[in-house]
Amino acid sequence: MTTSMTKPDIPLKHYLQFSDFTASEYAYIFERAALIKKKFKAYDKHQPLADRTLAMIFEKASTRTRVSFEAGMYQMGGSVVHLTTDGSQLGRAEPIEDSAKVISRMVDLVMIRTYEQTKIERFAEHSRVPVINGLTNEFHPCQILADIFTYIEHRGDIRGKTVAWVGDGNNMANTWLQASEILGFNVHVSTPSGYEVDQDVAGLRSNESYKVFKDPKEACAGADLVTTDVWTSMGYEAENEKRKTAFAAWCVDEDMMQKAKPDALFMHCLPAHRGEEVQAEVIDGPQSVVWDEAENRLHVQKALMEYLLLGKLA
Ligand code: CP
Ligand code: NVA
């Protein structure tokens, strides 16, 4: 009896954090994403996932993740089931393990956006099919996949480059740090005190790929990419007022961008709050690539789903 609905010769693999894949798997995914994007732009059908079904479980709000996974799966010939906490038995305390066993008998792939990373790990442990992290409190690997693909499109290889992270030591920061260890670039991190990254939570092997700066301007000095995120992530809304005070100096402004390299890019995973974590002049300015970054969620996640279900294609 098979335990997975992926092709029998494809080992069951989950994508729960950035460190789940090696540098060579990323090289393959970026190459496929570029091809898939090119075909999409040429209205050339790419439907390797005909008859496959993706279940998307959202315990937090989403625009980009929902649209990119849903549109992506349909464009690849498959279909989608959309579940929310309130609209399913997940909101009525059905154990996550039972939900995983049931859902994964009916679909080929599951994407989950939830709170604790342990929740998605428990789901994956009991799933017959690949599980993708669509954001947890700790990580957002699909976003960093899109961000690095966007960097490569604009500037080439990210190896040896410097990324400045300005803001909260949150899921995005943790994932940038994991990516730096795997893909060989550096991260300059500047957070207000009390909001630092935690190396254990981020799941890092060492502190060699990143450097911490008290002053966000110093973190931006010489950077190839400056990036930030909301001051208050989903699930932390009760801390909003306190955070507004603590983060006041962590707004990416033109001054900070001037400290970075002249050809530095600006990224933000979105949604953004202009006037809080980023000045309108920066996010809407010439160095910003946020719209490419958002679009690329579609292309990289198509490559990711294809890889998880079909493995490496010639
Ligand atoms: N960046 C991102 O994940 O956006 P959504 O919350 O809209 O999915
Ligand atoms: N750090 C943000 C990212 C949103 C896409 C959050 O978790 O809410």
Our mutation pick for probing the ligand 1 site, out of 297, 298, 300, counting the most ligand atoms within 8 A of Cβ, is 297
Catalytic residue among 117, 297, 299, 301: 297
The predicted-structure confidence for 174-183, as pLDDT tens digits, reads as follows: 999 999 999 9
Our mutation pick for probing the ligand 2 site, out of 58, 66, 135, counting the most ligand atoms within 8 A of Cβ, is 135
Nearest alpha carbon to residue 26 among 189, 168, 198, 175: 175
Side-chain-side CA neighbours of 213 within 13 Å: the count stands at: 19
pLDDT confidence bin for 9, thresholds 50/70/90: confident
Catalytic residue among 17, 143, 279, 301: 143
Whole-angstrom distance, CA of residue 265 vs CA of residue 146 = 14
Whole-angstrom distance, CA of residue 80 vs CA of residue 56 = 7
**Structure tokens that stand for 164 in this block:** 């400045």
Which atom of ligand 2 lies at the shortest distance from residue 135's CA? Answer: 7
The answer to whether the CB of 230 is under 6 A from ligand 2 is yes
The answer to whether the CB of 272 is under 6 A from ligand 2 is no
How high is the pLDDT of residue 198? Answer: 97
Residues 6+ apart with CB under 8 A from 54: 69, 73, 78, 79, 80, 81, 107, 108, 109, 110, 111, 305
Burial 66-101 (b: 16+ CB within 10 A, else e): bebbbebbebbebebeebeeeebebeeeeebeebbe
The predicted-structure confidence for 135-162, as pLDDT tens digits, reads as follows: 999 999 999 999 999 999 999 999 999 9
**113 tagged catalytic:** yes
**229 tagged catalytic:** yes
The answer to whether the CB of 136 is under 6 A from ligand 2 is no
**143 tagged catalytic:** yes
**Structure tokens that stand for 144 in this block:** 């960093």
Asked, as a colleague might, if the bond just before 262 is cis with ω within 30 of 0, I would say: no
The residues lining ligand 1, judged by C-beta closer than 6 Å to any ligand atom, are 62-65, 135, 143, 269-270
What is the SS3 assignment for 18? helix
pLDDT confidence bin for 5, thresholds 50/70/90: low
How high is the pLDDT of residue 6? Answer: 58
The predicted-structure confidence for 33-62, as pLDDT tens digits, reads as follows: 999 999 999 999 999 999 999 999 999 999
Q: Does residue 4 surpass a pLDDT of 60?
A: no
How high is the pLDDT of residue 7? Answer: 61
The answer to whether the CB of 229 is under 6 A from ligand 2 is yes
Whole-angstrom distance, CA of residue 84 vs CA of residue 155 = 38
Cα 169 to ligand 2 centre (Å): 11
How high is the pLDDT of residue 8? Answer: 62
> Which is it for strands 225-228 and 109-113: parallel, antiparallel or unpaired?
unpaired
How high is the pLDDT of residue 38? Answer: 98
How high is the pLDDT of residue 296? Answer: 99
**What is the torsional sign of CA 154, 213, 21, 15?**
negative
**Structure tokens that stand for 242 in this block:** 């306190």
pLDDT confidence bin for 314, thresholds 50/70/90: confident
pTM: 0.97
Question: CA 215, 219, 220, 225: dihedral to nearest 10 degrees?
Answer: -140
